[in-house]
Amino acid sequence: MKKLFLGFLRQLVFWILFFNITRLVFLVYYSGLLSVEGIRFTEVMGVFSHALKLDLATACYFMIFPFLLILLQSFWSPRWLNIINKVYSGFMIFVYSLSAAAEMGIYAEWKTKLTYKIIKYLSHPSEIYNSAETGTFFFLLLLFILMFSGGLFAYLRWFYRDLIREKLHFWQSLVFAVVLPPLLVIGLRGGVQQIPINQSQSYFSDHNILNLAAVNNAFNLYISIFENLGNMRENPFLFMDDSRAEAIMKDLYAVKKDTTISVLTTSRPNVVILIMESWSADLVSELGGEAGITPQFSKLAQEGILFNAIYASGSRSEQGMACIFGGFPAHPISSITVQPDKFVKLPSLVRELKKQNYSSAFYFGGQLIYGNIKSYIIFNGFDQIMEGENFPAPIPRGKLGIHDEFSLGYLVNDLHNFKQPFFASLFTVSTHSPWDQPFPKPLKWGGNEQEYINAAYYTDHCLLEFFTKARQKAWFPNTLFIIVADHSHNSYRNWHPESREYHKIPLLFYGEVIKPEFRGKTCLKLGNQHDIASTLLAQMGLPSAAFKYSKNLFNPYSGEFSYYSTEDGAGWIHDMNYYTFESHPPMRYWWNSFTRGADSTVYINEAKAYLQTVFGEYMKD
């Protein structure tokens, strides 16, 4: 009987040690970022102690099947049962090592752990490969191989012992069968408390990277999958009666007067939307960023209308597409664009303009299959869709796609072929890793985001070339250019990924169709990308009621609020009041900043109603 208990205990200890080895690899891999954030060594070491309970719970889950095998071996122990145990453990070591390596790869870009939503993106491994720098990809592959092979070797060499022809009295097997299951259940629940253990057990620091490192990969992924599947039946962000949430939303979008400041010289301009991959407001000096990163954008801002309080409601490109073209805000857990049965119910800015006899086109130098963007773009009804494979083969391209200078150059030359008025959009690619743009990298600062700001410097230079050529075209005087980011990105300032600073993005209206008196002006209205639809349609004198989450940024009476989603909650800015929260479990507030005398409950309920309504809309059949 002693051999049975020791055999079980050795395997349990292995898993706890293995979890911590992979955690250590993660922390070493991101040691540079820890240094940039000024995190003390003692606080880093706290990761391991705060991870212990969740690791133990996860190890207990992993040990359910080995326990059943060991219990069977207490009665009957042929050799092949040991083989089954080894194969099972080897498979689990393989999967966990893969999740650890994948998490190291995604954290730099997404600042999150491996989740159900991210797993869905992994269904296109070629996109994952193309999105990573070659050296980084193969280094992570090497780490995966080392973690897997090292873990398997250690397990077989020092932790696993074969049980062959064990002869136990019945009462000994009965003791093992009766004593161990309750202990296993207590372990996987994290104790005997009423509420089982969850990821909050491992949260302990103001530095989110330490919290994420402490949370067990497998446990987090299991919860993410379980919660997502469950959420398809019931709204997980149900904070109040739907009628009350509806009333709050109605008040938010109510306007005393349905009017607009007319800033265009024509109601039927050509429209070109340039969607800038991963552009943070920190790239633009006029939005509070350091000077010298995007000087050409700054020159454009001096002649256009710059919006200085715009936030991306999501953190993924496909979410940005739904915001810009469908006026639909991003939300936690999933994206509406990955589900055709849902996004077909969204309104479409493209289709609205096609009703006005606009021709249309969408250009992207990469592959649109990622995030199911292609299906969504096709749904919008663009007359012409150009992605990487459709461009002539000789055009230079990097791992992720055609470099921005060439895709922008191709578009500017193509536009004269479109029937006017036209609506064209181009999605850039070069400000996404692997930063392999064919251009010098003059910016020698930026810390952990030096490659990112140099990529932005390159794309900014491409804007100069694009507009230099565009000004020579006959269609230019009658064209409105809208430059906006699909989402933000970590910057050299390393904002917390759930902060408002992290989600702030540039939005610029530019072109000779802007009335002279508005050129060089700044719009202070709080808003999101999903406000573009109503704002543009109002300038054209067209109805926008179908875009119910979109407000007219040029209407002086529209509300001063902005929303953005997080992994499990939302950020909310209303006038000067601001806070960010995660919904469950338990409710966690990251920031609370309310003006003196403000009723914080009002703003908290606004944010909850907004998230509840948007996700409820997403869940509708």
Please write the tens of the pLDDT for every residue from 163-217.
876 666 677 778 888 899 999 999 999 998 877 888 878 888 888 899 899 999 9
Cis bond before residue 516 (omega within 30° of 0):
no
The residues, ordered by sequence, that sit 6+ positions from 550 with a Cβ below 8 Å of its Cβ are 327, 530, 531, 532, 533, 534, 535, 544
pLDDT top residue among 130 and 293: 293
Provide the pLDDT for residue 232: 60
Residues shown for the chain: 621
Per-residue pLDDT band at 222 (split at 50, 70, 90): confident
Average pLDDT, whole number, for the chain?
92
Instruction: Output phi, psi for 172, to 5 deg.
Output: -70, -45
CA-to-CA dists, residue 410 to 123, 223, 365, 413, 474, angstroms = 31, 45, 10, 5, 16
Q: What angle do CA 289, 290, 294 make, to 5 degrees?
A: 85
| Ranges assigned E (strand) in 256-299 | 270-276
Residue 96's pLDDT is what? 97
pLDDT digits (tens, 9 = 90+) for 373-418: 998 999 999 999 999 999 999 999 999 999 999 999 999 999 999 9
Q: Are 437 and 403 in contact (CB under 8 A)?
A: yes
The pLDDT tens digits for 17-48 are 999 999 999 999 999 999 998 999 999 999 99
DSSP for 2-54? HHHHHHHHHHHHHHHHHHHHHHHHHHHHTHHHHHHTT--HHHHHHHHHHHHHH
Lowest-confidence segment of 115-124, 141-150, 462-471 by average pLDDT: 115-124
Torsion, Cα 522 525 527 531, to 10 degrees, reads -80
For 591-619, the pLDDT digits (tens) are 778 988 889 999 999 999 999 999 999 98
Q: Quote the CA–CA distance of 546 and 562 in Å, as a whole number.
A: 19
Residue 132 has pLDDT above 90, yes or no: no
- Chain mean position to CA 297: 25
DSSP assignment string, 61-113: HHTHHHHHHHHHHTT---HHHHHHHHHHHHHHHHHHHHHHHHHHHHHHHH-S-
Look at residue 230 and tell me whether its pLDDT is greater than 70.
Answer: no
Tell me: pLDDT of 575 over 70: yes
Residue 338, pLDDT > 90, answer no
DSSP per position, 164-221: -S----HHHHHHHHHHHHHHHHHHHHTSSSSSPP-GGGG---SSHHHHHHHS-HHHHH
Average pLDDT over residues 509-521: 98
Q: What is the mean pLDDT of residues 118-133?
A: 66
Query: What is the pLDDT averaged over residues 262-289?
Result: 98
In the prediction, which pLDDT does 590 show?
A: 65
Burial of 253 (0-12, 13-18, 19+ CB in 10 A): middle
CB 612 within 8 A of CB 249: no
Bridging pattern class, strands 305-311 and 527-528: parallel
- The dihedrals phi and psi of 528, each to the nearest 5 degrees, come to -135, 175
- How far is it, in rounded angstroms, from Cα 401 to Cα 435? 11
- Pick from 425, 426, 367, 373: which is nearest to 399 by CA? 367
| pLDDT band at residue 589 using 50, 70 and 90 as cut-offs | low
Query: What pLDDT is recorded for position 228?
Result: 66
Strand order in the sheet with 569-574: 561-565, 569-574, 577-582, 588-593
pLDDT for 123: 60
Residue 83 burial by Cβ neighbours in a 10 Å radius (0-12, 13-18, 19+)? exposed
Q: What local confidence, expressed as pLDDT, does residue 227 receive?
A: 59
Beta partners for residue 527, in sequence order? 310
Average pLDDT over residues 531-538: 98
**Residue 106: pLDDT over 70:** yes
Kindly tell me if the per-residue pLDDT of 540 is higher than 90: yes
Burial 186-203 (b: 16+ CB within 10 A, else e): ebbebeeeeeebbbbbbb
DSSP 157: I
Residue 438, preceding peptide bond in cis (omega within 30° of 0): no
Q: Given pLDDT bands bounded at 50, 70 and 90, which one contains residue 129?
A: low
Note the pLDDT of residue 113: 86
Per-residue pLDDT of 278-299, as tens digits, reads 999 999 999 999 999 999 999 9
What domains can be seen in the chain, in order of their start residue? Answer: 2-231 (no CATH), 263-557 (3.40.720.10), 559-621 (no CATH)
Give the closest residue to 570 by CA, choosing from 555, 556, 587. Answer: 587
Pick from 205-214, 301-310, 312-321: least confident: 205-214
Mean pLDDT, range 149-154, rounded to an integer? 98
- CB-CB neighbours of 30 under 10 Å: 18
For residues 529 and 312, give the distance between their C-alpha atoms in angstroms, rounded to a whole number: 6
Percent of the chain with pLDDT over 90: 75
d(CA 265, CA 63): 70
The H or E element spanning position 504 is strand 504-510
pLDDT at 125: 64
Contact 540, 552 (CB under 8 A): no
For position 128, what pLDDT does the model report?
A: 64
* pLDDT tier at 348, thresholds 50, 70, 90: very high
Q: Which residues contact 278 (CB under 8 A, 6 or more apart)?
A: 431, 432, 452, 485, 486, 487, 488, 489
Q: Count Cβ atoms within 10 A of the Cβ of residue 278 and give its class: 0-12 exposed, 13-18 middle, 19 or more buried.
A: buried
CA distances, 26 to each of 30, 48, 181 (Å): 6, 12, 33
pLDDT mean over 533-541: 98
Q: Is a pLDDT exceeding 60 seen at residue 586?
A: no
CB 97 within 8 A of CB 90: no
